[in-house]
Structure 1
Amino acid sequence: MMREFTATRYVAPLREGGSLPGLVEADDLNTYVMKFTGAGQGRKTLVAEVICGQLARRLGFRVPGLVTLALDPVIGLGEPDTEVQGLLKNSGGTNLGMRFLPRALGFDPLAYAVDPAEAGRVVWFDALVNNVDRSWRNPNLLVWNGELWLIDHGASMIWHHSWRGAAAWAAKPYDATDHALAPFAPDLAAAAADLAPRVTGELLAEAAADVPDVWLTDEPGFDSPDAVRRAYVETLLERVPGLHERIALPDTATGPGSRTTGWITPEGAAR
């Protein structure tokens, strides 16, 4: 289960994100990127962050640690930015914190190579959760201590914005033609052989269990938070069989790709 802390100081807004996440300090003396329930996308963005982030961690991907952060709106009274003041005022209660990775760099495919095995795993995972926000325009990938980290899954599982169509989403193809890692010849078959058997109902239930009840309460069409969790589990589980065969890659992804992951040297080889 995710640990619970209290935000003690709002440090600065992070304007790279469309939902205006903020850098905050908490009572465990750590710094977090905080995502707010009062942001425009609402609580479902936070639900997606938790389920996808916790599932990714269980599958062996590197993702920042997640916690819940209690927020007292009074923390924003001294903020000069009226937009930030309004966001903090509307986000009292339970919010989401992601461990801040100091000195992490944004992923650049011209500077950092990804081997086909790792590229395939990331693309397969994004196809599973219908992540529409890992394009070359906005990779939502960081390089920290020389390794690739996955961040920002709030745009995933877009079917949960209309549960009536969720069942149909399970069988839909995934367009990875502009995926940030498509140029690295993702090995989807190997990724499916490794990951698909591990995505079980039990594993998905563990990830969904970390979503706070308050973000699932009063969901139209469901009588309890646990019923909503089961719907997430069932939809994702139905998407697994044959998923790699429904992923569309560009023709440029058929090349050999880099055999190693790491920074690209002036000579063109990853190290």
Structure 2
Amino acid sequence: MRKEDLMTVYESIGQLRDQGIKMKDIADRLDMPPSVLSAIYSTVLPAYLDNLSRQEEDAALENALSLVNNVSKKRLLSSLPDMLRQLQNYCSPVSEITLPIEKALAEGVRLTVAEIGNYTGVYQSYSLSSSSDALKMEPYLIIPSPDGHSVRVGRLSAYRTLQWGTGIINNHQNFYVTFSETAPPQLNLVTLYLQLPFREHPGMLRGLYLALDYNRNPIARRIVLVKQSEAVAAEDFANLKSGIIAKDQLTPEQEVYYQYTCQPGDYIKMCTVPTPHLDASDLAREKKMLEL
């Protein structure tokens, strides 16, 4: 089993290198010094595989390790399970993609990492409340992921729940953000379609916000994200202000956002139509029900 595992590590690193991924980036993913990973890949594993034709496994590995001074047998074998797991996750986006949309998403994630620096920071969002004619205020945080391979988007909901998702920039013009309002295993997706202005470090983003209302009916609304700062610590982000603002409590600035996001033409709602069979006549009934 150890022989197969070491061969898998060698082949996986080789596959990533063939894709143009730098050894430093692979080492960061494995939480390993680049010099150690380079010694394992360039010296230890090739020598080990060559020694196997003449020696037993233990002797082959020990002789291969004797060629370097920064990798021990104990360290290599103890880190092997985690290396296999991380390399499998690292390689799978390339090897398991079968649908065109999966390939497009993987490429979109890669390109987004290069562009997201123009939009990172803390934003205060404004949109229509699902429960009343009021302005909903929720902070968003846009940052690169810790490993630098994707983008993280956090939202502090009006009810003080912190949710994390991701985002993809498309054609330098649109930023798609998605996350779940509920914890696993439930999945209640929220999706933002944001239009990106043609300027560096914009102070405002705007777009459409698609989610479910309290009865699990789809609702689409305008949303505005107003930039507050370039960065914030995670614990400080969780303490930012969020909530529902009644119309008579709006500041002059918030009144502008209310007028933009909370008017009749700024949202589309749906409702459940009580009918034994849904046909064209029920479509008109639904609209009348929504007017009540």
Normalising by the residue count of structure 2, what TM-score does the alignment of the two structures yield? 0.27
Normalising by the residue count of structure 1, what TM-score does the alignment of the two structures yield? 0.28
Higher strand share: 2
Task: Name the larger-Rg structure.
Answer: 2
Higher helix share: 2
